[in-house]
Structure 1
């Protein structure tokens, strides 16, 4: 039994020496954990700040898009009117081109006189006036 007690005592002294050697690394580990705690203590507030900033940004973006949609809905009839005016102008100008081509084909025999005297613009204006007069009086 004496040998057993001496063996246990030696194991105890070795364990004590091992614990004494681990005191410094354990203190350093404790310091790391305390600095980690101080860092993570501020984390919930930082996350709350970031989420509130993101929420404000998304709210502002949504309001801006709503304003843009309202303005576009107000401008939509204007774009429709402009499209209708463009189509009407296109039809009118194509009709005038057809009439001008027809008149040019009908006056082929006198075309040298027209070109020689530079009267193309005058005949074009007369044709336009005639066509507008015809359109006004059905």
Structure 2
């Protein structure tokens, strides 16, 4: 029993020395945790402010997008008109090309190719084709 008591006393003294060694680091840890607590105490208010600002920014972005959609809605008829004009021109040019090809097949004239008169020939063929259609509609 005497040896057991001496062993317990030695272990107790070692633990007491360990406690004295750890006092300074534990004090520093306490200060760090107190600083973290001060920082995190303000965190809910900061998050609430950020969320309020975010809601405001998203609301204004949403309003801007609505205005943009309204303005683009007003431009849709213009784009439709431009598309219709493009389709009409494509149809006109296809008719003009067809008439030009038909007229070229009917008349082979090397004089026109030599003086590069194909464009004038095409316009004249178009005018003739339109003239014939106008007379056919009467």
Cα distance, 1:102 vs structure 2 = 0.7
Cα distance, 1:47 vs structure 2 = 0.9
Matched, 1:38 2:38: yes
Cα distance, 1:127 vs structure 2 = 1.6
Residue in structure 2 matched with residue 94 of structure 1 by the alignment: 94
Residue in structure 2 matched with residue 51 of structure 1 by the alignment: 51
Gaps of 5+ in 1: 1-9
Q: CA RMSD in A?
A: 3.1
Pairing of 1:1-138 with structure 2 (within 5 A): 17=16, 21=20, 23-108=23-108, 111-116=109-114, 118-137=116-135, 138=137
Cα distance, 1:18 vs structure 2 = 6.6
Cα distance, 1:99 vs structure 2 = 0.6
Q: TM-score, normalised on structure 1?
A: 0.72
Alpha-carbon spacing, 1:74–1:18, altered in 2? closer, same or farther (3 Å) = same
Instruction: Give the paired residue count.
Output: 129
- Provide the secondary structure at the position in 1 that maps to 2:129: helix
CA deviation string 1:15-44 (max 9, x = no partner)? xx5797254444333312221121112211
Counterparts of 2:18 and 2:117 in 1: how far apart (Å)? 116
Gaps of 5+ in 2: 1-8
Q: TM-score, normalised on structure 2?
A: 0.72
Counterparts of 2:95 and 2:89 in 1: how far apart (Å)? 10
Residue in structure 2 matched with residue 7 of structure 1 by the alignment: none
Alpha-carbon spacing, 1:27–1:122, altered in 2? closer, same or farther (3 Å) = closer
Alpha-carbon spacing, 1:122–1:23, altered in 2? closer, same or farther (3 Å) = closer
